[in-house]
């Protein structure tokens, strides 16, 4: 299969690409993937990686609060439920985006809705703060960044592989083994495959801040740029 051939030929390149900047790159990635303490205390709880911007600040604050309450998994589940609700319910989606709704009405509605749903105090209070500050419309992005923090806290590394056809099990294992060697045996590699016809073939691997592009689309662009260069005689 084409994807398999591209992966087999690309894995040595991936290893070399990562190893060439190992001390800098691995240090950068590792900072975001600290192992999770069994019973965190107020002194040793910290955000596993720095997030910036408004959504990053909210996600970091939620992470610290949830970690101190030993409720990271529960809070993550509840926040994901809110995001799913916003996707499935046009009315709820419109509500969280409509800033014309008075602040008091937003806060009251959110508090009552999620109290009835049996949500934890941490999640209810967090959503009330978002409603009060007019930031509920960013809940999906905040949730994504919060999940990034919980994964980093547990030593999990999410790897997104884009191909035009599903990656065979054998090639997926080869990829995971290669990344495991680079990132360390104490990391849990989670591979998410995505079908992306726009890459035209080959594959694109993304994890942390790294992108390893072995797509036919990119190679075609590189070839086009090369052919457009003036000839020297």
- The domain locations on the chain are 54-152, 156-228
Name which residue leads in pLDDT, 28 or 154.
154
Distance CA 228, CA 209 (A): 31
pLDDT value, residue 171: 83
Tens of pLDDT, residue by residue over 170-215, are: 888 888 888 888 778 888 888 888 899 988 888 888 877 778 888 8
pLDDT at 216: 84
pLDDT-derived band at 167 (thresholds 50, 70, 90) equals confident
State the pLDDT at residue 10: 52
Output the pLDDT for position 37: 39
Q: Are 183 and 26 in contact (CB under 8 A)?
A: yes
86 CB neighbour count, 10 Å cutoff: 20
> CA-to-CA distance for 127 and 139, rounded, in angstroms?
9
HSE, CB side, 13 Å, CA atoms: give it for residue 106.
23
Count Cα atoms within 13 angstroms, Cβ side, for 152: 22
Predicted confidence (pLDDT) per residue in 58-93, tens digit: 999 999 999 999 999 999 999 999 999 989 988 888
What are residue 192's DSSP bridge partners? 160
CA distance 25 to 15: 12
CA 110/CA 95 separation, integer angstroms: 10
H-state helical runs in the chain: 2-20, 22-31, 53-68, 72-88, 90-97, 103-116, 121-132, 139-153, 169-183, 216-228
Percent over 90 (pLDDT), the chain: 27
Q: Is 194 helix (H, G, I), strand (E, B) or coil?
A: strand
Does residue 135 or residue 42 have the better pLDDT?
Answer: 135
Q: Which residue has the tokens 């419109």?
A: 94
Query: Between 44 and 177, where is the model more confident?
Result: 177
Lowest mean pLDDT among 33-42, 91-100, 137-146: 33-42
* 54-152, CATH topology level: Peroxidase; domain 1 (1.10.520)
Better-predicted residue by pLDDT, 37 or 148: 148
């Amino acid at each position: 299969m084409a994807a398999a051939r591209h992966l087999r030929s690309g894995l040595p390149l991936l290893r070399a690409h990562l190893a060439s900047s190992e001390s800098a790159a691995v240090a950068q990635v590792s900072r975001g993937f600290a192992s999770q303490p069994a019973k965190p205390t107020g002194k040793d709880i910290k955000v596993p990686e720095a997030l910036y911007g408004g959504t990053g600040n909210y996600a970091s604050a939620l992470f610290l609060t949830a970690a101190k309450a030993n409720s990271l998994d529960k809070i993550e589940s509840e926040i994901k439920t809110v995001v799913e609700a916003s996707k499935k319910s046009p009315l709820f989606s419109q509500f969280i985006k409509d800033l014309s709704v008075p602040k008091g009405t937003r806060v009251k509605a959110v508090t009552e809705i999620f109290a009835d749903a049996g949500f934890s105090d941490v999640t209810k209070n967090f959503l009330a703060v978002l409603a009060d500050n007019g930031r509920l419309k960013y809940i999906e992005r905040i949730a994504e960044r919060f999940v990034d923090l919980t994964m980093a806290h547990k030593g999990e590394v999410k790897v997104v592989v884009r191909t035009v056809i599903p990656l065979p099990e054998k090639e997926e294992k080869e990829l995971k083994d290669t990344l495991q060697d680079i990132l360390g045996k104490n990391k849990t590699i989670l591979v998410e495959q995505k079908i992306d016809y726009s890459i035209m073939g080959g594959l694109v691997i993304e994890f942390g801040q790294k992108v390893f592009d072995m797509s036919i689309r990119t190679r075609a662009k590189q070839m086009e740029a090369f052919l457009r260069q003036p000839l020297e005689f």
